[in-house]
Structure formats: structure tokens, C-alpha cells
Amino acid sequence: MNRLSLSLLSLMISIQMFAQDEKNLKAEINKVTVFLQGAQITHEGDISLAKGKHFVKLTELTPYLQTNSISVKIGGGITLINVLHQLNYEQEAMAPKRIKEINDSLELMNDQLSLSLAKQAVLEDEKAMVLANKSIKGQEVLDVVDLQEAAKFFRDHLNELAEKIQEGKIKSRDIQEVVNRLNNEKNTIGHKSGKQTSEIVMEVYASAQTNASFEITYYTSGATWFPSYDIRAKDIASPVVLDYRANIQQSTGVEWKNVELTLSTGNPSISGQAPTLNKWNISYYEPERERKHSHDIMPAYAPSYGDYDGLAKEKEEVIISSQKKVRYDASQPIAISQESTTTLQYIISTPYTIQSNGKSHKVEVAKYEVPASYKYKAVPKIDPTAFLIAQITDWEKLNLLAGEANIFFEDAFVGNSYIDPAASNDTMDISLGRDKGIVITRTKATELSKKQIIGSDRSCEITWQTKIKNNKGKAVVIEIKDQIPVSTNKDIDVTADVKEGILDAETGIIKNEITLNPGEEKTTKFSYKVKHPKRYSVVLE
């Protein structure tokens, strides 16, 4: 046997040995932690390994996997030697038979569509040519018969072209509908030829035959979640019920089927490195046309942020998290809250399936029953309507994130609102909508208002009165806000006469809290006088 034959034989033996050592690990996704941007995926599975070196492969993974975030834990006395992540593409032969049929049909229909559109373009060009040559020049003399024949020719030809163009449009539309149906069917099946996936290959060594357990985690950017709320109030004597939901979206290319979900308020896509300040040099500003030495102008440096180190920092924070766990309403244990050093996690107790379609999937996070006080508020200058407000204290203990809210009162949808904990004070106000049972009218008291000119100045005194009537069958408390103008010019002098309510001199806002018994009506009023040079015009209402 010659040397070349020996080399080929050795190569074939090596390939066979490698193939024998390669094992496919069946490890389904069983845990997912969804961040505000991105998700941490966990696979778990077992495989039987003989003594020696093996290449264990986990396939059908998302292509949006961050290689530096891969973490592998192996039980059963197995030594991990190396981890490799690589992309691959499904071959056409691996696609289902129906997908191949659809692709063949799509190719045929797209060819027909292109031909139909091309024919339409030719007919449109012919129509444009006919229209361009239909005019009869002024110097030409035609008798009636010739004119009639010319008109008939153009009419018949244009009608024929119009019919053919319309037939072509109908045919193209029908073909396009078929193409759309085929594409929808192809997407529904979910196995597109050429679909990109990735895989993790682990080189391991087994000191003895064993059944090895694998836990593989990694970070992917193709997921997100955001909160939304349903806020319900039965009546003004009942507490507010707040339903906290998470809207999860994922487009990783892999379905999460019956997985244990955890929602985290962390965001690994943002740098975890604390910012540092560099030296800030400044100098005189010189316009471009006068600048002689560009190096005289020193820029103001922005804070410098370190590079992101991968998911390790986020995982480290979870490891050192406190042991404090708070379960929501015991009668409805939807999720468990676990607070770490810098983030909050919601551990969902029910498994969920989240499809990879980019659509929002609602997940129940918590249900709170929160004590609330109710008050009516009105700003008659802008809108003479009483709005019912639910006031919630100690809301910061709920660990809410900013998000949209649907408001329901007395089992009726009131409207939408927005919860922004960062903008709230000690008390969170939630508007429950308008109440027509309280009638408010704001008018100018003309008999008490007057204008006069004193020398070079003009003086205007205006009095406003507001009537509030309670047509409800129970007593109510209502906060009325109004305002007087505030001068920002030394030549304009403003004085106020406010006997009811509290005036904020800096803002000019008057706040008055009124209690009304059933059927009771009250009237409040205030005045202000503005003095200014008569040569100027000032808006006083």
C-alpha cells in the first residue's frame, strides 16, 4: 500500500472517530429571564457518555446569541475542555415537503406576475403613443367623413387598450393574492428554507461512563418586556384594585414552550460601568471666520462609559441579592418578588409559552388591593367638570414601573392614563373620569368688574365667581383650582383679593377645598386688579 493510500485511510479513520465522539444533546428551554431589553435563556438536559473525550452539540438555537454570555454547568464528573458557538443554516433538503411545494409555486407565480406587469407597461406605452398622436394640427383640412373615421379609430383603439390594461390589472391582482396566501401559509408552518440558527459545541472529557446533566445559559437581545396596568374602583367607599401585567415580546426565532418565566427590571444592554469625569477645558469661543488656531478651542468632554462586560455582571448581582422575598396577595399568588442589590425580579409561578413572532404576550404579574381616598378636583377656567380622583399613599412599596393604565370605575371603562412613579410624590393621583353629578359654572361678575384710566395708566378690576352644586345622593369633597395673573414686568402691577382658598403668590394659583352635602350649592369668588401703562395692551382674562 503506497503512502497516499495510507494517508487517505488515516484521514477516514479520524473522521469516523470524530463522528463517533460527537453527541447531540436534547436540552429544551425550561427557564427564561426576560430583561427590559434582552433575555437569559436556560437549557437543561441529560446525556449518556462513555469514558473519553466527546463533542456534545446543542442545536436549533437563536442566531442572536451573545457568545461571551454562554455559561455551561455539567454534573456527573465531567470535565469541560472548551465551548464553541457557531452559526449554521438549514439546508433546503431539511425543509418540510409542503415548504418545497410552496417555494416552487411562489417561483412560478412570481414569474407570471412579472410577465403580467411587463405586458401592462407595454400597453400603457402604446396608450401614451396613441394619445400623443391623436391631435389634428390647425393647418390640416379634413372633411367630415375623414374626421369621423379618425375619431372612430382613436375611440376604438383606446377602448381596446383600456380593456386590455384593466384585464392585466385584474390578473396581476389575482396572482398577487395567490402569492400572499402562499407566503402566509409558509410563515404559519414556520420552517422557512434558509432559516438561520446557531449551535453550541462543548468539548468534554468523561473519566468514566456516566449520565451527565447539562445546564446551559446564554443571553440574547431578541426579547423585551414592558408593564401595563388595569386600575379598577368599584365605588368611592372601596379600595382600588390594581392588576399589574407584563407585555413580553420575543423574536429570537425559537419558541419558548411552557417555560419558567422571570421578569427582571435590569437591562444588560446598558453599560454597568460607573461613569467617570475627564478634565473639562474651556476657552473663548471664536466664530469660524475669525478662528486662527483651531487648537485653541477645547471641547467639553462627555462622561466616559466602560465597555459592557457581558451578562456576568448581571448574574453576579443576582447571586449577591438579598434573601428578602415578598409574596403578593396570598389569595392570588401570581408571582414572587425578589429584590437584588440593583434590580427587582418577578418570578412567575405559572409556566408560559411565548411564540417568536414579535407580538405582545400578556403575563399576570401581581394583583394589589390598595386603600385609597377619593376626592373630586376641578379647574373650571379650563373645563367646568368635576373629575373623581383616587389618591393612593405608600405606592412606592408596590415597586411599579412606568407604564400605561386602563382605568375602570363602577365596572365601566373610563379611559387611559399613565403611571409614572418617577414623577409622583408621596401620593399618587389616579383620575377615574368625569362625574356629571356635580355641576360647575364659572362666570365673570360684570357688576363687580370695572375699568378706568388714571393719568397715563389703565386700571382693570375683574371678579370671577364659581358655583358648585352637588346633585349626588352623598356628600362630596371637591378641590377647585383657579388663578390670578402674575406680573413679570415692573410696569405691570397686580393685586389680588382672595378671601376663600389659599393663594400661591409665586404661581398665582388659588386652591380651595369645599365640602358639599347632597343637593347643596356653594359659590366662591375672587378678584384681581391690574394696573399698567395705557399705551400697552394686556390680556386679563
* Cell numbers describing residue 321: 441579592
Alpha-carbon torsion (293, 294, 299, 305), positive or negative = negative
Residues 114-132, mean pLDDT to the nearest whole number: 77
Q: How confident is the model at residue 15 (pLDDT cuts 50, 70, 90)?
A: very low
Give pLDDT, residue 298: 32
β-strand 78-89 against 196-206: which pairing, if any? antiparallel
* Cell numbers describing residue 466: 364659581
Q: Measured between alpha carbons, how far is 259 from 39 in angstroms, rounded to an integer?
A: 13
**Is the pLDDT at 364 greater than 50, yes or no?**
yes
Q: Measured between alpha carbons, how far is 378 from 438 in angstroms, rounded to an integer?
A: 10
Contact 118, 223 (CB under 8 A): no
Give pLDDT, residue 61: 93
Q: Measured between alpha carbons, how far is 480 from 376 in angstroms, rounded to an integer?
A: 9
**Is the pLDDT at 429 greater than 60, yes or no?**
yes
pLDDT tens column, 98-117 = 777 777 888 888 888 878 88
Helix (H, G, I), strand (E, B) or coil at 105: helix
Helix (H, G, I), strand (E, B) or coil at 534: coil
**Is the pLDDT at 496 greater than 80, yes or no?**
yes
Residues 350-364, mean pLDDT to the nearest whole number: 91
**Is the pLDDT at 301 greater than 60, yes or no?**
no
423's CB contacts (< 8 A; 6+ apart) are none
Minimal CA–CA distance to 242: which of 398, 412, 422? 398
How far from 460 is each of 381, 465, 485, 490, 507, CA to CA, in Å? 19, 17, 12, 17, 20
Comparing 162-171, 181-190, 291-300, the range with the smallest average pLDDT is: 291-300
pLDDT tens column, 37-89 = 899 999 999 999 999 999 999 999 998 899 999 999 998 789 999 999 998 76
Helix (H, G, I), strand (E, B) or coil at 147: helix
pLDDT tens column, 168-187 = 888 888 888 888 788 777 66
Q: Measured between alpha carbons, how far is 313 from 297 in angstroms, rounded to an integer?
A: 39
Round the average pLDDT of the chain to a whole number and report it. 78
Q: Measured between alpha carbons, how far is 333 from 520 in angstroms, rounded to an integer?
A: 46
CATH architecture for the domain at 374-393+433-533: Sandwich (2.60)
**Single-letter amino acid code for the residue at 61:** L
Share of the chain above pLDDT 70, in %: 75
Contact 310, 350 (CB under 8 A): no
Name the residue with higher pLDDT: 516 or 145: 516
How many residues are recorded in the chain?
Answer: 541
How far from 287 is each of 231, 291, 297, CA to CA, in Å? 56, 6, 11
Q: Which helix (H) or strand (E) holds 107?
A: helix 97-132
